[in-house]
């Protein structure tokens, strides 16, 4: 739809529903934050910026602000559902994953458990839920017993103006790329074991890891301990912070992206990699088959031998690699932030219309 027509349609629907949706935008730098930031760029809505991790006073202020708004509130991730619990206005929550429900986390404080239960109550109370994969939708139905009719699946997108193939060479050695944190569900131990096997055949090969370790310092300590045990400490390059353009360069220059995560609500790195012409080897679990489709090689993430074999195929079979690049570029065209924003607008209008209908019934 042309942008002018899109804007006109939005204006007309605003007049009909008399609603200006309020989108909470988190201003940090992870994939979860990118979601609300990219949607906000493409929708004519009221924006309230917030940090993702809030102190008690900050949480109170945000909850009070939400209660004071008269229109539809869109909460950008499942851990913000708690802040809308005590408001009266309709709200939408985007659930990126139910990882805290599906996986146990070590060292959870009592307050964390309480807040997670509040999140679940908020998700169940939401007027509508946006899930960014069918896998997350299925988790909502299975684990939280949310009715299917309350869920819309809207895939995340990718900025094709930034993420695209570049003719660059960032290292003088060939490298496998991993993008993400070092949390346990990311399954880096299996990746390191598979990489150690490949090093015996490809002595010049490096593994480049882009992204911070995670909220806990123990993640990096465990990572370094594992690398030392495998004798590959000097072969793994850590890069914590890069711009989106620099990240696109890393994808474009890599031999492949290895992404053996055990669980993802969506999985932006495989999509970004395909958009940059980088072959993808990933897990056959959770949402990752939805993102990669027929373009990548999917393996059992628990099997380091299988993972090593898949990466070996990409490194040695040029015809296979070229075919994966071609299919990946085609697969990536199915995803865009413009499409995600347009579908999100449809949800806003649906919730606003339902709110007006309910109000008329009460009159």
- Answer whether residue 251 is part of any domain: yes
**In-domain check, residue 115:** yes
What pLDDT, on the 0 to 100 scale, is given for residue 89? 81
66 with 132, same domain: the answer is yes
Check residue 105 and give its pLDDT. 57
The tokens describing 2, both together, are 């042309």
Burial (CB count within 10 angstroms: exposed 0-12, middle 13-18, buried 19+), residue 138: middle
Cα end-to-end distance, the chain, whole Å: 37
Tell me how far the alpha carbon of residue 127 is from its chain's centroid: 22
For residue 36, pLDDT beyond 60: yes
* Whether residue 108 has pLDDT greater than 70: no
Assess if residue 168 is contained within a domain: no
Q: How confident is the model at residue 17 (pLDDT cuts 50, 70, 90)?
A: very low
| Residue 188 pLDDT level (bands cut at 50, 70, 90) | very high
Asked if residue 80 is part of any domain, the answer here is yes
Query: What pLDDT is recorded for position 293?
Result: 97
Q: Please tell me whether residues 256 and 113 are part of one structural domain.
A: no
Q: How confident is the model at residue 94 (pLDDT cuts 50, 70, 90)?
A: very high
Can you give the pTM of this predicted structure? Answer: 0.89
Whether residue 351 sits in one domain with residue 262: no
Q: Could you tell me the pLDDT band of residue 7, with boundaries at 50, 70 and 90? A: very low
Q: Within a domain: residue 169?
A: no
Helix (H, G, I), strand (E, B) or coil at 165: coil
Confidence tier at 159 by pLDDT (50, 70, 90): very high
Higher pLDDT, 53 or 127: 127
More confident residue, 269 or 100: 269
Residue 341 has pLDDT above 60, yes or no: yes
Cα distance between residue 336 and residue 258, in whole Å: 23
Question: Domain check: are 152 and 212 in the same one?
Answer: no
Rg for the chain, CA atoms, rounded: 22
For the chain, the domain total comes to: 2
Residues, the chain, total? 363
Give the pLDDT mean for 207-213: 94
Residue 68, in any domain of the structure: yes
Residue 170 belongs to some domain of the structure: no
The percent of residues in the chain predicted with pLDDT above 90, rounded, is 75
Q: What is the pLDDT of residue 1?
A: 37
Query: Looking at the structure, do residues 41 and 120 belong to the same domain, yes or no?
Result: yes
Please give the average per-residue pLDDT across 51-66, as a whole number.
Answer: 90
117 and 216 together in one domain: no
Tokens 């945000």 identify what position? 62
Mean pLDDT for all residues in the chain: 89
Q: Are residues 221 and 75 in the same domain?
A: no
Token readout for 130 is 């946006």
pLDDT of 6 reads 34
Residues 202 and 59 occupy one common structural domain: no
Banded model confidence at residue 111, pLDDT cuts 50, 70, 90: confident
What's the pLDDT score for residue 29?
Answer: 82
Question: What's the domain range around 143?
Answer: 3-157+336-362
Q: How far apart are CA 112 and CA 100, in angstroms?
A: 11
Average pLDDT on 247-260 reads 98
The closest of 283, 301, 352 to 15, measured between CA atoms, is 352
Would the pLDDT of 358 be above 60? no
Q: What is the pLDDT of residue 216?
A: 74
Please report the pLDDT score of residue 18 as a whole number: 45
Q: How far apart are CA 203 and CA 200, in angstroms?
A: 6
Residue 246 pLDDT greater than 50, yes or no: yes
Average pLDDT of the residues in 342-352 = 93
């Amino acid at each position: 739809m042309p942008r002018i027509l899109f804007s006109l349609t939005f204006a007309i629907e605003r007049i009909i529903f008399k609603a200006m949706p309020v989108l909470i935008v988190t201003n940090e730098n992870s994939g979860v934050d990118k979601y609300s930031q990219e949607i906000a760029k493409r929708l004519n809505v009221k924006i309230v910026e917030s940090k993702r991790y809030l102190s008690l006073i900050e949480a109170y202020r945000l909850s009070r602000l939400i209660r004071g708004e008269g229109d539809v509130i869109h909460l950008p991730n499942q851990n913000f559902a708690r802040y809308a619990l005590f408001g009266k206005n309709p709200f939408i929550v985007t659930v990126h994953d139910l990882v805290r429900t599906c996986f146990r986390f070590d060292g959870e404080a009592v307050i964390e458990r309480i807040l997670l239960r509040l999140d679940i109550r908020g998700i169940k109370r939401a007027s509508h839920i946006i899930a960014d994969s069918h896998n997350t939708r299925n988790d909502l139905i299975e684990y939280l017993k949310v009715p299917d009719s309350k869920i819309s699946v809207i895939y995340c997108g990718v900025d094709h103006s930034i993420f695209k193939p570049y003719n660059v060479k960032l290292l003088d050695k060939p490298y496998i790329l991993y993008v993400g944190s070092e949390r346990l569900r990311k399954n880096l131990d299996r990746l390191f074991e598979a990489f150690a096997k490949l090093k015996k055949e490809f002595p010049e090969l490096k593994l480049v890891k882009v992204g911070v370790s995670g909220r806990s310092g123990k993640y990096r300590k465990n990572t370094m301990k594992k690398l030392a045990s495998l004798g590959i400490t000097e072969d793994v390059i850590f890069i914590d912070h890069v711009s989106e353009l620099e990240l696109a360069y890393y994808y474009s220059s890599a031999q492949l992206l290895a992404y053996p995560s055990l669980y993802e609500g969506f999985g932006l790195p495989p999509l970004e990699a395909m958009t940059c012409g980088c072959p993808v080897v990933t897990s056959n679990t959770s949402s990752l088959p939805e993102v990669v489709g027929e373009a990548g090689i999917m393996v059992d993430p628990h099997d380091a031998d299988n993972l090593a074999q898949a990466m070996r195929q990409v490194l040695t079979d040029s015809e296979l690699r070229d075919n994966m690049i071609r299919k990946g570029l085609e697969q990536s065209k199915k995803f865009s932030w413009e499409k995600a924003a347009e579908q999100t607008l449809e949800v806003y209008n649906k919730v606003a219309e339902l709110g007006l209908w309910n109000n008329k019934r009460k009159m």
